[in-house]
Amino acid sequence: MVQSAVLGFPRMGRLRDLKKANEAYWGGKLSREDLLAEGKRLRLEHWKIQKDAGVDIIPSNDFAYYDHVLDHIQMFNAIPERYSKDSLHELDQYFAMGRGHQKDGIDVPSLEMVKWFDSNYHYVKPTLQDNQTFKLAADPKPVREFKEAKEAGITTRPVLVGPVSFLALGKADRGQSVDPISLLDKLLPVYEQLLKQLKEAGAETVQIDEPVLVFDLPAKIKQAFKPAYEKLTALQGSAGPQLAVSTYFGDIVHNLDVVDSALKNAYALHVDLVRNPEQLNEVIAHLGDKQILSAGVVDGRNIWKTNFKKAIEVVETAVQKLGKERVLVATSSSLLHTPHTLASEKKLDEEVRDWFSFASEKVHEVALIAKAVSNGPDSVREQLEANAKSMQSRATSKRTNNPEVKKRQEAVTAAMHNRQSAFDTRYAQQKTHLSLPKFPTTTIGSFPQTQDIRIQRNKFTKGEITPKEYEEFIEKEIRDVIAIQDELDLDVYVHGEPERNDMVQYFGERLDGYVFTTHAWVQSYGSRCVRPPIIVGDVSRPEPMTVKESKYAASVSKKPMKGMLTGPITCLRWSFPRDDVHQSVQAQQLALALRDEVVDLEAAGIYVIQVDEPALREGLPLRSGSEREKYLSWAVDSFKLSTAGVQDSTQIHSHFCYSEFQDFFHAIAALDADVLSIENSKSDAKLLKVFIDEAYPRHIGPGVYDIHSPRVPSEQEIKDRVEEMLQYLKPEQLWINPDCGLKTRQWKETKAALTNLVNAAKFFREKY
Ligand code: GLN
Ligand code: ZN
């Protein structure tokens, strides 16, 4: 029998229940007990969905209140002292590390949060000390949750982040110099203890994730696998559970020597065959004699129905070589990156609905493919035929194919990618045109999305207020944020994005070729969820998308108003992209649509235009080499194509939510944006060194404070930060701004923080 396995299930619940419960708890409106009870309810519901679908191997410990890596940080007591010293309750300490804590005289910023591989999920970075020790928590979460499922009659396979990935994804704390992987010896006993406890609780198998195996690994990380897995696999069967070592989001062919030397004794090896089906044969050739292959054939990262015929072929290939007992049919990765259920979508038209499959549907797919391979296609004939029909419908639909768009793509020339003049010439014109002070201050686009904004938007969506009433409301919001910016004395204004629910969805809803959902939320970080629109066909812009609001904002503002767009790569990456057309083609279609918008904004009197590309980096192929160069070349081209249509006097900004540009600096420079705003408050100012080293001539606003946390930075803190930056950037290059948009913040902290920010900028204006 071929068994089916799921690597992880989304945590939020059908109606983002976890988000609501977490936020209520943080706001003091829900008790700790009630939050914990809600978590328990959700876990149970998710296990049942999988059990009812007939999944054989159901994960536990995939649930997390905030983030699963943070769960491990706490469980291993890798807790920096600043979080442990105030003896907060364990749950509050956990959230303090995830989102900072500023209450009852305690004031700690959060740990750094970064993208999980090339996804839009963020994990909390293990942050380690030179004298780091580890200690397993009493009653560790994976054991607790395994027992909880067992009590409900469901035997699960607990999921752990493996020790090598845990360390390799971590970093030394500020002021520390420890190389995380050097801590392996200290960490392993904790894993051994944990595995023993899981075995005692009845767990026969544990999924141990080592996704770093898809990277190009430095030698010392590669070498760490051997001692780690010698110890952990030695426990298998007797003192510990069997280990299913899991990789995803890439191939592991370049690390098969690690499989040979360290992982052959593990009970199973999971690989992602959606992303890299071509690795199958080579991986099989390196398996141990009895080792099981877990074949990830159901996409954990996208919403398309699985093509059963193709998936079955892949699994059959493996079965021919290994036999049915040695193959598992699995999701390619955790389903964390997919929405909860298609059943909640009441507004999708039938044609496209038939093409989709969300988490609750994918678990059925996994079970069905396993059944088809185990019992022969006749056992599921009807489902296979229906599936083939859906595949056919999508491939031949008019919605996927727009000849006008194709024609326009064919007419794109090289010249369309370049601004008229070089930066010096452009800047000379922009300076007089915009009359900006030194150290200009600005924000990244959004201001707090208040309850009132959400209520009005909801009413509008439901038809309870007229378009005119809604427009008036938005205009009032715009006037309000402009008044606040006047008061704060900022230099380049924004309209605040009150009309936008989300920076990508908003555009998706205004572009042809997209469909959008009502409930397809995916966790981005902590309680924050996004609802990626879906690119189903060729993309084009039927009419202007942002001009009305920006033009209005400019008309009531005495300072330059910055237009605000989401760039082509971010639109692509934060949507569910098509899987039937190369992403470079989709990016170029988006770029052409945005180019028209940029030109229209300029014509409407908007002379500063920011095109956000926070997703540029996460799209980087995980391995360096030619794949990466290819990606960067089409990604940079699409940004340039979208922005190069303006006059020299119009200033193009771009924004990124990170500052680690070292490995692709040439691409950032090639964007030729006049001003870049980047994250920097939580990373080291040293990262800015690359800008001097490479003699970067244009302007930069490294974020001076962290907007992910409600904490208010003091004026002094901001000044210190700017001083640090000035070691690496010229005073005339530097803009002063927060790290990112402010939509998730409250007004109170926003005003306080920006007041300090403007004062700090004024201080430097005096000084230089
Ligand atoms: N302009 C967007 C905002 O301010 C940028 C968001 C982002 O970079 N993630 O909300
Ligand atoms: Zn950002």
Q: Which two tokens stand for residue 758?
A: 């403007």
β-bridge mates for residue 701, sequence order: 677
Q: What is the pLDDT of residue 110?
A: 96
Ligand 1 near 657 CB (within 6 A): yes
- Average pLDDT, integer, range 465-470: 97
- Asked whether the predicted pLDDT for residue 55 surpasses 90, the reply is yes
Write out the binding residues for L-homocysteine: 444-446, 612
Q: Which two tokens stand for residue 56?
A: 């054989």
How much distance in Å is there from the Cα of 741 to the middle of ligand 1? 4
Best mutation site among 495, 503, 524, 613 for ligand 1, i.e. most ligand atoms within 8 A of its Cβ? 503
Nearest alpha-carbon partner for 294 in 309, 308, 314 = 314
- Average pLDDT, integer, range 393-401: 92
Q: What is the pLDDT of residue 683?
A: 81
Report d(CA 73, CA 240) in Å as an integer.
22
Ligand 1 near 707 CB (within 6 A): no
β-bridge mates for residue 515, sequence order: 534
CB atoms within 10 A of CB 111: 25
**Vertex 99: Cα angle to 93 and 102 (nearest 5):** 75
Say which ligand is closest to the CA of 613: 1
Q: What is the pLDDT of residue 752?
A: 98
How much distance in Å is there from the Cα of 740 to the middle of ligand 2? 4
Query: What is the share, in percent, of the chain residues with pLDDT greater than 90?
Result: 94
Pairing between β-strand 101-103 and β-strand 106-108 as defined by DSSP bridges = antiparallel
Ligand 1 near 678 CB (within 6 A): no
- Average pLDDT, integer, range 67-94: 97
How much distance in Å is there from the Cα of 590 to the middle of ligand 1? 18
Q: ipTM exceeding 0.85? A: yes
pLDDT band at residue 502 under the 50/70/90 scheme: confident
β-bridge mates for residue 700, sequence order: 676, 734
Residues 6+ apart with CB under 8 A from 546: 563, 564, 565, 597, 601
Pairing between β-strand 156-161 and β-strand 58-60 as defined by DSSP bridges = parallel
Q: What is the pLDDT of residue 663?
A: 86
Residues 6+ apart with CB under 8 A from 205: 57, 157, 241, 242, 243, 244, 267, 268
Residues 308-365: tens digit of each pLDDT: 999 999 999 999 999 999 999 999 999 999 999 999 999 999 999 999 999 999 999 9
Pairing between β-strand 122-124 and β-strand 113-115 as defined by DSSP bridges = antiparallel
Closest residue CA from atom 3 of ligand 1? 741
Ligand 1 near 481 CB (within 6 A): no
Question: What is this structure's pTM?
Answer: 0.91
Residues 425-442: tens digit of each pLDDT: 999 999 999 999 999 999
Ligand 1 near 503 CB (within 6 A): yes
Ligand 1 near 635 CB (within 6 A): no
Taking a C-beta distance cutoff of 8 angstroms, is the pair 744, 707 a contact?
yes
How much distance in Å is there from the Cα of 182 to the middle of ligand 2? 33
Report d(CA 616, CA 393) in Å as an integer.
32
Q: What is the pLDDT of residue 632?
A: 97
- Average pLDDT, integer, range 478-487: 98
Residues 549-592: tens digit of each pLDDT: 999 999 999 999 999 999 999 999 999 999 999 999 999 999 99
Report d(CA 684, CA 672) in Å as an integer.
24
- Asked whether the predicted pLDDT for residue 662 surpasses 90, the reply is no
Report d(CA 292, CA 439) in Å as an integer.
60
How much distance in Å is there from the Cα of 520 to the middle of ligand 2? 22
Sheet architecture: strand order including 699-702: 562-566, 608-612, 651-656, 675-678, 699-702
- Asked whether the predicted pLDDT for residue 658 surpasses 90, the reply is no
Write out the binding residues for 5-methyltetrahydropteroyltri-L-glutamate: 19, 120, 528-529, 574
DSSP H helices in 490-622: 505-508, 547-555, 568-573, 583-603
Q: What is the pLDDT of residue 712?
A: 96
| Exposure b/e, 562-585, CB count within 10 A at least 16 = b | bbbbbbbbbbbbbbbbbeeeebbb
Write out the binding residues for Zn(2+): 655, 657, 666, 679, 740
Per DSSP, the three-state class of 525 is: strand
Angle between helix 547-555 and 467-488 (nearest 10): 50
Report d(CA 457, CA 426) in Å as an integer.
39
- Average pLDDT, integer, range 165-174: 97
pLDDT band at residue 659 under the 50/70/90 scheme: confident
Report d(CA 342, CA 518) in Å as an integer.
10
Ligand 1 near 446 CB (within 6 A): yes
Q: What is the pLDDT of residue 624?
A: 85
Report d(CA 254, CA 283) in Å as an integer.
10
Ligand 1 near 564 CB (within 6 A): yes
- Average pLDDT, integer, range 231-253: 96
Q: What is the pLDDT of residue 104?
A: 87
Ligand 1 atom with minimal separation from the 500 CA: 10
Q: Which two tokens stand for residue 341?
A: 């259920």
**Vertex 610: Cα angle to 762 and 757 (nearest 5):** 20
Ligand 1 atom with minimal separation from the 445 CA: 4
Nearest alpha-carbon partner for 518 in 506, 527, 531, 509 = 531
Ligand 1 atom with minimal separation from the 614 CA: 8
Based on the residue annotation, tell me whether 286 is a catalytic residue of this protein.
Answer: no
How much distance in Å is there from the Cα of 699 to the middle of ligand 1? 19
Closest residue CA from atom 10 of ligand 1? 741
Taking a C-beta distance cutoff of 8 angstroms, is the pair 80, 111 a contact?
yes
- Asked whether the predicted pLDDT for residue 151 surpasses 90, the reply is yes
- Asked whether the predicted pLDDT for residue 237 surpasses 90, the reply is no
Say which ligand is closest to the CA of 448: 1
Report d(CA 587, CA 580) in Å as an integer.
14
- Average pLDDT, integer, range 407-419: 98
Residues 673-717: tens digit of each pLDDT: 999 999 998 788 889 999 999 999 999 999 999 998 899 999 999
Nearest alpha-carbon partner for 99 in 86, 81, 84, 112 = 112
